[in-house]
Structure 1
């Protein structure tokens, strides 16, 4: 929130505040006061006509027409409501000060009329925004002071000083009033968001909630749930922030940078997924930042803490499927002298099942020649014509069992009769591997979503397009632990 003009820096929040909390109240106040002034001026027009006061009749009728036109215009064009409130305040006040016909009006009635007009003026100021009220108060009070100086026979300096002080006092009160309204709305908005978030969290879900104190750059722990395998107390949670890393950067510093970027862009919310290294383990965590009075950070730990028990039914089913595949291979070999394509198809399925089971136990890191690795995959898919363009001979350290699964899935979802495989270096000297051809993108994307964490581990970046699959490899990955 801007500290001087009192508006939210996020345009969406400002618009939501104006529409949901202010517009309806402001419009009803404007309509009621406009209608009240119209009734008052109708009475004035009738009274001046009855008293045959031509000058008063013309002035009151002119003001009445103006008020009716303004009311109709603003009612049909709500976007000019704030301007309509300012003009209503100025026009009525200036009319009563400079053009009101006071002939035949005694001091008591004049005082009562002045009090009514001042009450309506201040009600309009409170209804409007702070900046609108500040402009209205300053201009009208200066007009009153100048009018009093030029129209009075003698000057009362105490009245001038009091009027000047009133400008400051009323503006200060109006500032505090609008600041309190906006702060309350901001807190309500933050509380509502957190209520929605926490309702969606299962009791078994593991999460950590922090608040960031900007004055002393300090984190305070607000809530911990189901994080016993990482930390149990607030002190251990602070230690986690200082020891855990993301891309060789301490998580505490990562969060500092996120908050800095978050406030720089005037965001209201931030969400992202990180792979966190902690005590030779990898943790997939979703980090969210929400802006209330102070930035609030939610660590939502995914998958890592869910204990996975062996499902006997699943194991038995996979075992039976494996036996069926082996039987099919033996039958093919016994019945046909040449059935290479069928044999390779079954062989690939067996390899795939073996690899999926293997990565659930451990991740195998090995330094490989990428081109040789691709050539071995091509041998398993002789039904597809493959053209290769190896523009470099890259050596990478990677998880071979996960990479084998990815390559097998790409080949299994080829729709064209031939593809092109290219390896080269990018401008940043990164290792790039491209597959060009027709692919079943729907299945590849489903596979990518299911194996999201392995994709994040294997590739520095990747792009899956209609006819091109691009993967950029890091030089090596450091995973001295098991994901599952």
Structure 2
């Protein structure tokens, strides 16, 4: 929305606002006030005729004819209704100021007539757009000032100053009124869009809709569906926002950061995927933000409530085939001593396949000594010269089967004849492990994307650079409901 002229920057939204929200109200107000003025001028024509006031009769009859023509034209051509409101306001006001015959009218009746005319003028200003009202108020007030200056015998400076201030005050109030009206329309439009989005969601989906108030920096719950395993009501939802974390940050602070990023980049929509830790469980969620009158947030919980069924029969068949393959390979390789290296390579690949096929079904936390774990992996890779620099032998609690997969994948993509492995602590006393050498970084990065959730569970942070792979282990791991 343009901050000065108060129009929506999206032409479709502006057109919708004018047609669906404003046009019918303006047409009703225009017709009612026009008919009211017509009745008033019919009365004035009859009265001036009865009083044999020729000047009053002619001026009132002329204005009556104009009002009838105007209402007929703009009723039939209501696409020009905004112009019709401006013309009606100007014509009636200028007539009462400059052309009305006040013969025989005392001060009390003149005051009452002026109040009625001012009320009608301001009602027309409120009905129109802010720009229309601003033009009307400024022009008519300037006309009143100039008319008073040139027609008055004495100068009342207080009246001139008051009239000038009124231009500013009325314009300010008119600005705030139209801004609030348009903001309310944006909020209604946002609600409608969210309803359309939610109607397209499956009934089984679990989601939470929040709204953020920038005045008091608070979240309010708009809607909850299928979240009984996390929270059942608004109070528990607020507790979830304060207790759940993402990368060691409280969820309400994480969402607030997303809102600030969303507003800073002036995006139409914002979508992101994140892992949420809550009560020793990890949930993969999608967050979407829409900026209406207030930022509205949709949290869609994906991989917490629905456990994927495992086809045990298919897995059993795969294992049987793999065992037969292992037996056949070992029988062939053992016959030739010069095939020892090839045997080790095949052995490592089979172990890797075995781990990949089982890690989703066997997720367990276990305490291990990192150096001993690495030494066991090194035994499988005797064809590579490996130098170790262990500055400590840290004990870590981790998902061993997943860590085995990650380490084996690193060893499978070694491209140099020698690598260096170092373990130790960071300045923050975090456990780290560094691999230095030449690696096939493209395959490692592809693997990291495929196992992204697993990497986030195992490591607090990691870096994959040209000749260095650095991993910092998490202090604790929350076992997720399912891992992809």
Report TM bin, short chain: 0.5 to 0.7
Map of 1:104-123 to 2, 5 A cutoff?
A: none
Select 1:259's aligned residue among 221, 235, 256: 256
Q: Does 1:399 align with 2:417?
A: no
Match runs of 1:150-169 below 5 Å: 154-155=153-154, 157=156, 160=160, 161-162=162-163, 164-169=165-170
CA distance 1:447–1:163, change in 2 (3 Å) = same
| 1:211–1:222 Cα contact (<8 Å) kept | no
The answer on whether the counterparts of 1:290 and 1:296 sit within 8 Å (CA) in structure 2 is yes
3-state DSSP of counterpart to 2:337: coil
Q: Deviations over 1:278-324 (max 9, x none)?
A: 44433222344444334433222222222222314531442233123
Aligned length: 377
Quick one: structure 1 residues 107 and 219, their matched pair in 2 at CA, closer, same or farther if it must change by over 3 Å? Answer: closer
Name the structure 2 match of 1:172. Answer: 173
Deviation, 1:107, is 7.3
Contact 1:362 1:482 in 2 (8 A): no
- In the TM superposition, 1:331-370 aligns within 5 A as 331-356=331-356, 357-369=358-370
After superposition, what is the alpha-carbon deviation per residue over 1:363-414, rounded to whole angstroms, capped at 9, x for unaligned? 2321313x44333322212333444455655443322221111011112233
**Per-residue deviation, residues 174-207 of structure 1 (Å, max 9, x unmatched):** 4322442354245435643x35753664444322
Instruction: Look up the SS of the partner of 1:330 in the other structure.
Output: helix
1:28-49: CA deviations, max 9, x gaps? xxxxxxxxxxxxxxxxxxxxxx
| 2:141/2:163 contact within 8 Å kept | no
Closer, same or farther in 2 for the Cα pair 1:307/1:428, shift >3 Å?
closer
- 1:319 is matched with 319
TM-score, with structure 2 as normaliser: 0.61
Q: CA deviation at 1:361?
A: 2.2
Give the distance between the partners of 1:145 and 1:287, measured in 2 at CA: 57
What is residue 432 of structure 2 aligned with on the other side? 432
Q: Based on CA coordinates, which of the two structures has the bigger radius of gyration?
A: 2
Instruction: Tell me: CA distance 1:261–1:223, structure 2 relative to 1, closer, same or farther (3 Å).
Output: closer
Distance 1:20 1:441, change over 3 A: farther
Does the 8 A contact of 1:190 with 1:291 survive in 2?
no
- Taking a change above 3 Å as real, the CA distance of residues 256 and 434 of structure 1, as seen in their structure-2 partners, is closer
CA distance in structure 2 between the partners assigned to 1:425 and 1:440 by the alignment: 26
1:184 aligns with 2:176: no
Q: 1:8-407 maps to which residues of 2 (within 5 A)?
A: 17=9, 154-155=153-154, 157=156, 160=160, 161-162=162-163, 164-185=165-186, 187-188=188-189, 191-192=192-193, 194=194, 197-198=197-198, 201-212=201-212, 217=218, 219-225=220-226, 227-232=227-232, 237=237, 240-241=240-241, 244=244, 254-255=251-252, 258-259=255-256, 262-263=259-260, 266-267=263-264, 271-356=271-356, 357-369=358-370, 371-390=371-390, 393-407=393-407
Question: What is the DSSP-based 3-state SS (H/G/I as helix, E as strand, rest coil) of the residue aligned with 1:460?
Answer: strand
Q: Identify if the C-alpha distance between structure 1 residues 260 and 450 changes in structure 2 by more than 3 Å, giving closer, same or farther.
A: closer
Deviation (angstroms), 1:458:
0.8
CA distance in 1, matches of 2:4, 2:426: 49
Q: Do the aligned residues in 2 keep the contact of 1:145 with 1:163 (CA within 8 Å)?
A: no
Q: How much has 1:22 moved relative to structure 2?
A: 6.2
Residue 446 of structure 1: how far off its partner (Å): 3.2
In 2 relative to 1, CA 169–323 (structure 1 residues): closer, same or farther, beyond 3 Å?
same
Equivalents in 1 of 2:422, 2:212: separation in Å?
48
Partners of 2:395 and 2:322 in 1: CA distance: 34
- The SS at the match of 1:335 is coil
CA contact (8 A) 1:244 1:278 kept: yes
CA distance in 1, matches of 2:99, 2:210: 64
Structure 2: tracts of 5 or more residues without a match: 19-97, 101-120
Q: Distance in 2 between matches of 1:480 and 1:174?
A: 55
- 1-structure distance, mates of 2:186, 2:222: 24
- What's the counterpart of residue 410 of structure 2? 410
Once the two structures are TM-superposed, the CA of residue 478 in structure 1 deviates from its matched residue by: 4.0
TM-score (norm 1): 0.61
| Residue aligned with 1:169, SS | helix
Task: Label 1:248 to 1:389 Cα distance change in 2 as closer, same or farther (>3 A).
Answer: closer
